[in-house]
Amino acid sequence: MLSRSGLGIRTKLIGIFVLIKVIPLVLLAWFAWQGQVWLADRVSGSVVGMVQQMRETAEIVAKTTTDSAIKALDDAARESMERMTTDVARAVAAFLYDRDADIASAALLPPDAGDYRRFLAARTRGVERHHAWVLAPDGTKWVPGPEATPRYDQPPAQPSLPDQARNFNYRHPDAVGRIEARPLFLEMTFVGLDGTERVKVTSSDHMNTALRDVSRRENTYLKAETYFPALQALKPGEIYVSDVIGAYVGSPVIGPYTPAAAQKRGLSFVPEQAGYAGVENPVGKRFQGIIRWATPVVRDGKVTGWVTLALDHTHVMEFTDHILPTGDRYSPLPDATSGNYAFIWDYKGRSIVHPRHYFITGYDAETGEPAPPWMDQGLYDGWKASGQSVSDYLASVKTFDGQSWDKKGAVQQIKAGTLGLDCRYLNHAPQCTGWMDLTQNGGSGSFDIFWSGLWKLTTAAAIPYRTGQYGQSPRGFGFVTIGANVDDFHRAATESRQVADRIVAEHDADLQSRLDAVLSLVHTQVTTMAQQLAASTVMMSAVVIVIAIWMASFLTRRITAVVQGIRRFEDGDMAHRLPVQSNDEMGVLASSFNDMADRVGESFQRAEEARLRAEEASRMKSEFLASMSHELRTPLNGIIGFAELIKDDAADEEMRENAEIIEKSGSHLLNLVNTILDVAKIEAGAMTLARETVDIRTLVTEVAAIHQSGADAKGLDFQVQLADDLPPALVTDPVRVRQVLHNLLSNAVKFTQAGRVHTVVAADKDSVVIRVIDSGPGIALDLQDKIFEKFHQGDAFLTRSHGGTGLGLTLARHLVELMGGEMSLESQVGQGSTFVFTLPAGHS
């Protein structure tokens, strides 16, 4: 037999025995097993810790050694690159100072074309030009042609003596392209005091041979020079040196110019029309520029004019085009692909030498105006929005404005191929600021940058040439920069680290196999111990459970008999009593149950008698209410009728007023009787409702019309608002709806002294919602539930001054609920009240 909780006493007794006997056995076994596991874990942890410590020690040694080697190699490479950069900067400065000597010598010559021609012919310098490169068969890159591929016919040199054999290092001759002797200067002129060229000798078809008035900009090289005012300011012995002047050569492709790259941008494959870019486009158009020197020509102590020399800018590019900061050292043609290359910037931060010629700033050959440099997207958008020329716009903006990797280069300029680099406006390349910082005092240095997914070392060294305008800048002529992949410097150390890692990995594998063997042995011992503990615990638990079942069965046999007797009593056998067979606890329990059964029977008999008396009282109440209804309504109707007759036939005003008082009092009393009777019917469950089809619009309008005169008499804004979507018909009790609405409108008009009384009827899903809104005194929150109680109004004063029984709202709510609706109240003291009741919009 189960208890009410679902478990029988027998089961509970067995559970108790198991709890006090079996669980301790299990706990003892668990503690023993946990001790074994703890010991195994300590042993395993110690072994694993020793192995891990050995691994970490080996890794630390390898890492420390490699890191030290890498740092030493990086420091040595940094020093070597900084030295290389400084050497190149000094070589450029020495070259430029030699040109100062040339212009000074030229000033001593008579202004004669023959002398000038011999002067130019005597001054040449070798220019290295690479052999032909061709497009690879697969079209993915450019490769050197047969002549451009170096050949080493001789075997590597070997040491002749043992004493020189250690670290004997031989290199084949560096690959060299064609060496062409080119004139240093492309043009030599003598300019008269009026700005007109009197003598002009050229060494290149690139230069115009006609004599021109150079005081006018449009007559100068590329219409870009304005040097005549500077010439007029020169004193004897002073030298003028211009900026680099050259036509900008653009490229619609950044990087290798291949058929695939051109097709990706929707372009025809015409690399010859794009800017030269070394191994990325070896057949492109090269940048051609000049640097003009000038000095006064003095005869008999007077300046008779000026001599000028236009240096071929190609000779300046030769200083950086072929050097590499890697083990290759030199290259016949520049290579910007890997980032290991050198380039030159002028004193303002404009690119004047670069492996990619489309990165060199230049001028528009048609207008002589500077070509737009590559700007970040924000700066470019600002320029386009300004409507200004690029020169005027850039003159008005801040230079080096928040340079950051987060900014991006203008996409429109990439598509147009206008990519000249001017550090002042290259705000998406923060290394520009770094170079300017390094060279701000005319010095040099280096820093690391993260570029294209790799760490690069970049150096900068000012070019110490300070003739003419360049003497006003601490950077002199400008600065040389060299960039290199940091990983290339310590490649040997990295490879050594890889060898060390491989050795450590081999030893680690051996240690791991030994560790696995030890851990396997420990696991086997722990498993065996667990199995032995489990078997012994199961055997002892089985013995305890058998004993528990026997004892529980003995104890529950008598309890089951008592429970069965109680169950018979519960099933309705009130005469059943339990046999008392002993004087122990079970006997006392049976005797107590019998006494309780006797008292319960007596209680049932008293309850039945009380039910019969209540039914009789209810019947008498109903008969009394029916009798009172007839006895009260008949005389009241007579009194009201005679009062109306007296009022109609009254001889004077006093008698008519008395008759009206009798009529009103009688009507009030009749209404009170009807209300009390209705409440009594509802409480007795005797109220019945009619179900008729009602036009709710007509019903509300008719009820409201009854109260119109009373509202008008008080000057109230009395309105009825009917929604357009009201159902055409409503199935309900029209008398009771009128009664509820009449009660609410009567209260609203009665309690509202000024303001409004509005009746609003609307449809809401399956209901019709009727609201009676007034601007009366309102009802406090703590009274809003109580006013629906019988014989209760919101304020005793209101009851006395306005009349009422306190039953109207009680009856109204009961009637609404009987009709299937709800009634509620929304009110604030001093702001009026809104009574809301709903009626189901059923049509059946």
Nearest to 838 by CA among 811, 808, 812: 812
CB-based contacts of 365: which residues, under 8 Å, 6+ apart? 222, 247, 248
Quick one: what percent of the chain has pLDDT higher than 90?
A: 47
Residue 680 has a pLDDT of: 67
Please report, to the nearest 10 degrees, the dihedral formed by the alpha carbons of residues 419, 420, 421, 426 taken in order: -50
Helix then strand count (H, E) for the chain reads: 18, 22
Range 129-133 average pLDDT: 89
> Which of the listed ranges 491-505, 524-538, 746-760 does the model predict with the highest average pLDDT?
746-760
Residue 591 has a pLDDT of: 80
CB-based contacts of 496: which residues, under 8 Å, 6+ apart? 66, 69
Handedness of CA 638, 639, 642, 648 (dihedral sign): negative
Residue 798 has a pLDDT of: 42
- Separation CA 794–CA 788 (nearest Å): 10
| Assigned token pair, 331 | 């290259």
Q: Model confidence over 60-94: pLDDT tens digits?
A: 766 776 666 567 666 777 898 999 999 999 999 99
| Beta carbons of 170 and 160 less than 8 angstroms apart | no
DSSP line for 173-220:
PPP--EEEEEESEEEEEEE-TTSBEEEEEESSTTS--S--BTTSGGGS
- Topology of domain 688-840, per CATH? Heat Shock Protein 90 (3.30.565)
| Beta carbons of 418 and 390 less than 8 angstroms apart | no
CB-based contacts of 327: which residues, under 8 Å, 6+ apart? 488
- Separation CA 501–CA 518 (nearest Å): 25
Kindly report the backbone phi and psi dihedral angles of residue 92, in degrees, each rounded to the nearest multiple of 5, phi listed first.
-65, -45
Helices 491-570, 23-106: inter-axial angle, 10-degree rounding: 150
| Beta carbons of 428 and 408 less than 8 angstroms apart | yes
Range 482-494 average pLDDT: 66
Give, as one character, the DSSP assignment of residue 476: B
Residue 362 has pLDDT above 80, yes or no: yes
- Separation CA 354–CA 336 (nearest Å): 9
Amino acid at 294: A
The SS3 call for residue 453 is coil
Residue 140 has pLDDT above 80, yes or no: yes
> pLDDT-derived band of residue 273, with 50, 70 and 90 as boundaries?
very high
Question: 724, exposed or middle or buried, with CB in 10 Å at 0-12, 13-18, 19+?
Answer: exposed
Sorted by where each begins, the domain ranges of the chain are 1-106+490-576, 118-144+173-249+286-312, 313-487, 688-840
Nearest to 417 by CA among 374, 382, 477: 374
Does residue 363 or residue 167 have the better pLDDT?
Answer: 363
> pLDDT-derived band of residue 792, with 50, 70 and 90 as boundaries?
low
Handedness of CA 629, 635, 636, 641 (dihedral sign): positive
Same fold: 118-144+173-249+286-312 with 688-840: no
Q: Model confidence over 377-403: pLDDT tens digits?
A: 999 999 999 999 999 999 999 999 999
Residue 796 has a pLDDT of: 39
- Separation CA 491–CA 483 (nearest Å): 17
C-alpha separations of 390 from 351, 359, 364, 375 in Å: 17, 17, 12, 11
- Separation CA 459–CA 282 (nearest Å): 26
| Beta carbons of 799 and 805 less than 8 angstroms apart | no
CB-based contacts of 551: which residues, under 8 Å, 6+ apart? 13, 17
Q: Model confidence over 581-608: pLDDT tens digits?
A: 777 777 777 788 788 877 877 777 787 7
Range 524-541 average pLDDT: 73
Nearest to 60 by CA among 494, 504, 499, 502: 504
Residue 150 has a pLDDT of: 65
Residue 781 has a pLDDT of: 85
The SS3 call for residue 588 is helix
Residue 342 has pLDDT above 90, yes or no: yes
Residue 769 has a pLDDT of: 94
CATH, range 118-144+173-249+286-312: 3.30.450.20
Which stretch of 156-165, 265-274, 438-447, 676-685 has the lowest confidence by average pLDDT? 676-685
| Beta carbons of 421 and 351 less than 8 angstroms apart | yes
Number of other CB atoms surrounding residue 642 within 10 Å: 14
| 351-353/341-346 β-pairing | antiparallel
> pLDDT-derived band of residue 670, with 50, 70 and 90 as boundaries?
low
> Which of the listed ranges 46-55, 661-670, 688-697 does the model predict with the highest average pLDDT?
688-697
CB-based contacts of 109: which residues, under 8 Å, 6+ apart? 115, 116, 119, 307
| Beta carbons of 33 and 583 less than 8 angstroms apart | no
| 240-241/289-299 β-pairing | antiparallel
Number of other CB atoms surrounding residue 733 within 10 Å: 19
- Separation CA 685–CA 573 (nearest Å): 35
Residue 633 has a pLDDT of: 65
- Separation CA 241–CA 250 (nearest Å): 26
| Beta carbons of 770 and 836 less than 8 angstroms apart | yes
Residue 627 has a pLDDT of: 65
Residue 7 has pLDDT above 70, yes or no: no
Range 809-825 average pLDDT: 88
Q: Model confidence over 238-255: pLDDT tens digits?
A: 999 999 999 999 999 999
> Which of the listed ranges 79-83, 116-120, 622-626 does the model predict with the highest average pLDDT?
116-120
| Assigned token pair, 653 | 């005003």
Number of other CB atoms surrounding residue 702 within 10 Å: 13
Range 263-274 average pLDDT: 95
Amino acid at 336: A
How wide is the angle at C-alpha 132 spanned by C-alphas 131 and 138, nearest 5°? 135
Residue 760 has pLDDT above 60, yes or no: yes
Q: Where would I find the H helices in 243-332?
A: 259-264, 314-321
Residue found under tokens 């009961």 = 814
